[in-house]
């Protein structure tokens, strides 16, 4: 007697399932996230992928001591920024998810990447665009003499049939929300469809050692559309972000089973595609020598990459009674904390003034070492006095007004020295034991915020 399917309700945020609908998820605490889902008696993903996997692979237990600990060989994408964020390149058999806002450049990034991999047979599956649209984009990218296999299809069974016939070295699917399997009676983009299709693709990737890259849409709040378990299934989650009003795009790693999640890739959007920015410091720092008030240069690090950025601040009298606190590219709560430190520890009264902060270039920085430059930019705007353009700062500010040490100080100093800065204000704790061989820039060690301000403004 055949088993019947059953209906359960699954939380789209964490994947928790319950036999009946609930308003609040008991696992993650989110409201109105339960969606109805049909559970079949057999695992659909195994049947879906069985048509392309004919190796009769069966899992068996092995001893830990018999497993080789050698590092997995990486596939070079011929893109220095993408390789850095991935941890050195694509791992064979890995499943990577690339998310981002519509029109930010996800398809352009992957298309130009696979066109640059001339030694690989790559299958590009598009469920959103026609062959002609993709051809026009490829011509605009100016990749002469390169080619790839193109398939415009949304049914997963047909995609696996073409994979079996072509035997590609790498597969790109744009996007996972448009793919569906005929074994499930629901529309594409449904939680059930996304979950089962991704599971089938993962099974194929792991058993065939072919890397697969999925493109995913994001919701209004910036999370990847579909169930949260989608991010748990894949090996790597990349976020492609940026402001459409700026030329620069940021590639971040949110999850990476094969490398660090602290790495950062920076691209410049041009008419002929995305160009990797090898030295972001020269791009993010304005070379104008005019000493404008409210501008300070900070030495920041994202992952293992040092770069210099401009922090811009504007302080003005609150016109409507209630002062505003606004920041772009920086945590607003941390800005409020730094303003409280200024008022309590240094004695500057900013309670009745509007404070606006901006990180130049449209990027977002989470490195606490830019605290000192934020404070310097705010005070520079408040007293309307410019900071010398030959000075840069680095240091974390504590609640008692002390300047705390930062990590990788030698890399920060080297980056500032390379761009021609003459003086650098650093935490005093970082100078102790520092090898000053080869350092030509003047280091100004400070222990408290007051010392840093005296060094800047006299």
Assess whether 240 and 366 both reside in one domain.
Answer: no
Cα–Cα distance between 179 and 215 in angstroms, integer?
11
State the pLDDT at residue 1: 41
Q: What is the pLDDT along the chain (458 residues), one digit of tens a residue?
A: 445 567 788 887 776 778 888 888 887 788 888 887 766 554 555 556 655 665 555 668 888 888 776 666 889 998 999 998 998 899 999 999 998 888 888 999 999 999 888 888 999 999 888 889 998 888 888 776 677 899 999 999 999 999 999 999 999 999 898 999 988 877 787 788 888 899 999 999 999 999 999 998 877 666 676 667 788 889 999 988 877 667 788 898 889 998 888 788 888 888 888 888 887 877 777 766 567 889 999 999 887 788 899 999 999 988 777 888 999 989 999 999 999 999 988 888 888 899 999 998 778 888 899 999 999 999 999 999 999 888 999 999 999 999 999 998 999 999 999 888 999 999 999 998 888 888 899 999 999 999 999 999 87
State the pLDDT at residue 144: 66
Any residues with CB less than 8 A from the CB of 126 and at least 6 apart, and which? 134, 150, 151, 152, 174
Any residues with CB less than 8 A from the CB of 267 and at least 6 apart, and which? 81, 105, 109, 248, 249, 250, 251, 274, 275, 276, 277
Cα–Cα distance between 328 and 314 in angstroms, integer?
12
Assess whether 259 and 391 both reside in one domain.
Answer: no
State yes or no: 220 annotated in a binding site.
no
DSSP code of 386? B
Boundary (domain end) residue, out of 276, 303, 319? 276
Number of folded domains that form the chain: 3
Say if residues 67 and 40 touch (Cβ distance below 8 Å): no
Cα–Cα distance between 4 and 445 in angstroms, integer?
72
**Token output for 149:** 């296999």
Cα 333 to chain centroid distance, Å, stands at 21
Q: In the chain, what is the greatest distance between 2 CA atoms, to the nearest angstrom?
A: 88
State the pLDDT at residue 145: 62
Does some domain include residue 180?
yes
Cα–Cα distance between 195 and 133 in angstroms, integer?
28
Assess whether 267 and 304 both reside in one domain.
Answer: no
Nearest to 267 by CA among 248, 253, 245: 248
Place of tokens 């594409």: 188
Give the CA count within 13 Å in the CB-facing half-sphere of 120: 21
Assess whether 244 and 323 both reside in one domain.
Answer: no
The CA-atom distances, in angstroms, between 166 and each of 45, 124, 162, 170 are 21, 12, 6, 11
State the pLDDT at residue 437: 85
Does some domain include residue 137?
yes
Cα 40 to chain centroid distance, Å, stands at 36
Say if residues 373 and 435 touch (Cβ distance below 8 Å): no
Assess whether 172 and 151 both reside in one domain.
Answer: yes
State the pLDDT at residue 46: 56
Assess whether 246 and 261 both reside in one domain.
Answer: yes
Assess whether 339 and 365 both reside in one domain.
Answer: yes
Cα–Cα distance between 455 and 392 in angstroms, integer?
12
State yes or no: 287 annotated in a binding site.
no
Instruction: Give the structural domain span for 286.
Output: 282-457
Does some domain include residue 237?
yes
Which residues, listed in sequence order, are joined to residue 38 by a DSSP beta bridge?
Answer: 7
State the pLDDT at residue 56: 54
Assess whether 114 and 237 both reside in one domain.
Answer: yes
Assess whether 258 and 296 both reside in one domain.
Answer: no
Assess whether 298 and 386 both reside in one domain.
Answer: yes
Boundary (domain end) residue, out of 260, 276, 292? 276
Any residues with CB less than 8 A from the CB of 287 and at least 6 apart, and which? none
State yes or no: 259 annotated in a binding site.
no
Q: The CATH number of the domain where 421 resides is what? A: 3.30.230.10
Say if residues 173 and 189 touch (Cβ distance below 8 Å): no
State the pLDDT at residue 47: 57
Question: CB pairs under 8 A, 24+ apart, for 405-411?
Answer: 405/429, 405/430, 406/368, 406/369, 406/430, 407/301, 407/369, 408/301, 408/304, 408/306, 409/434, 410/434, 410/435, 411/301, 411/306
Does some domain include residue 370?
yes
Is the alpha carbon torsion for 16, 18, 22, 27 positive or negative? negative
The CA-atom distances, in angstroms, between 156 and each of 107, 160, 199, 212, 305 are 20, 6, 12, 14, 40
Say if residues 191 and 17 touch (Cβ distance below 8 Å): no
Does some domain include residue 60?
no
The CA-atom distances, in angstroms, between 92 and each of 62, 210, 257, 292 are 21, 6, 13, 51
Assess whether 268 and 139 both reside in one domain.
Answer: yes
DSSP code of 64? G
Q: The CATH number of the domain where 170 resides is what? A: 3.40.50.300
Say if residues 325 and 332 touch (Cβ distance below 8 Å): yes
**Token output for 190:** 């449904």
State yes or no: 107 annotated in a binding site.
yes
State yes or no: 103 annotated in a binding site.
yes
State yes or no: 347 annotated in a binding site.
no
Boundary (domain end) residue, out of 234, 252, 276? 276
Does some domain include residue 54?
no
Assess whether 253 and 351 both reside in one domain.
Answer: no
State yes or no: 41 annotated in a binding site.
no
Does some domain include residue 55?
no
Does some domain include residue 57?
no
**Token output for 375:** 């404070």
The CA-atom distances, in angstroms, between 370 and each of 6, 281, 336 are 54, 14, 14
Cα–Cα distance between 158 and 166 in angstroms, integer?
12
State yes or no: 458 annotated in a binding site.
no
């Amino acid at each position: 007697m055949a088993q019947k399917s059953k209906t359960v309700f699954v939380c789209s945020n964490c994947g928790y399932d319950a036999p009946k609908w609930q308003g609040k998820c008991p696992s993650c605490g989110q409201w109105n996230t339960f969606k109805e889902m049909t559970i079949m008696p057999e695992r659909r993903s195994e049947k879906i992928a069985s048509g392309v996997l004919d190796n009769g692979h069966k899992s068996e237990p092995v001893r830990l001591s018999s497993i080789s600990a050698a590092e997995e060989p990486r596939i070079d994408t011929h893109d220095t920024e993408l390789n850095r964020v991935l941890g050195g390149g694509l791992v064979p058999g890995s499943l990577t998810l690339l998310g981002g806002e519509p029109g930010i450049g996800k398809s352009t990034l992957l298309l130009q990447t696979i066109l640059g991999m001339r030694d690989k047979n790559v299958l590009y599956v598009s469920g959103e665009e026609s062959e002609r649209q993709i051809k026009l984009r490829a011509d605009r990218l100016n990749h002469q003499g390169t080619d790839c296999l193109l398939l415009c299809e949304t049914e997963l069974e047909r995609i696996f049939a073409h994979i079996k016939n072509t035997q590609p070295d790498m597969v790109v699917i744009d996007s996972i929300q448009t793919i569906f399997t005929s074994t499930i009676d629901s529309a594409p983009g449904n939680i059930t469809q996304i979950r089962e299709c991704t599971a089938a693709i993962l099974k194929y990737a792991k058993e065939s050692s072919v890397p697969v890259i999925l493109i995913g849409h994001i919701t209004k709040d910036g999370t990847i559309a579909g169930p949260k378990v989608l991010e748990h299934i894949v090996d790597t989650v990349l976020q492609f972000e940026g402001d459409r009003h700026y030329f620069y795009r940021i590639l971040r790693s949110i999850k990476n089973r094969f490398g660090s999640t602290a790495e950062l890739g920076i691209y410049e959007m041009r008419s002929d595609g995305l160009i990797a920015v090898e030295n972001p410091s020269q791009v993010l720092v304005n070379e104008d020598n005019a000493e404008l008030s409210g501008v300070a240069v900070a030495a920041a690090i994202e992952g293992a990459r040092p770069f210099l950025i401009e922090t811009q601040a504007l302080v003005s009298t609150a016109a409507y009674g209630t002062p505003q606190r606004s920041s772009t590219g920086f945590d607003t709560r941390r800005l409020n904390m730094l303003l409280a430190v200024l008022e309590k520890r240094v004695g500057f009264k900013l309670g009745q003034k509007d404070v606006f902060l901006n990180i130049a270039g449209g990027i977002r920085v989470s490195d606490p070492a830019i605290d000192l430059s934020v404070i310097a930019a705010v005070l520079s705007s408040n007293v309307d006095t410019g900071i010398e353009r030959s000075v840069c700062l680095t240091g974390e500010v504590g609640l008692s007004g002390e300047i705390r040490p930062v990590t990788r100080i030698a890399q920060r100093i080297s980056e500032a020295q390379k761009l021609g800065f003459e003086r650098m204000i650093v935490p005093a704790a970082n100078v102790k034991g520092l090898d000053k061989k080869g350092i030509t820039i003047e280091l100004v060690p400070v222990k408290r915020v007051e010392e840093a301000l005296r060094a800047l403004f006299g």
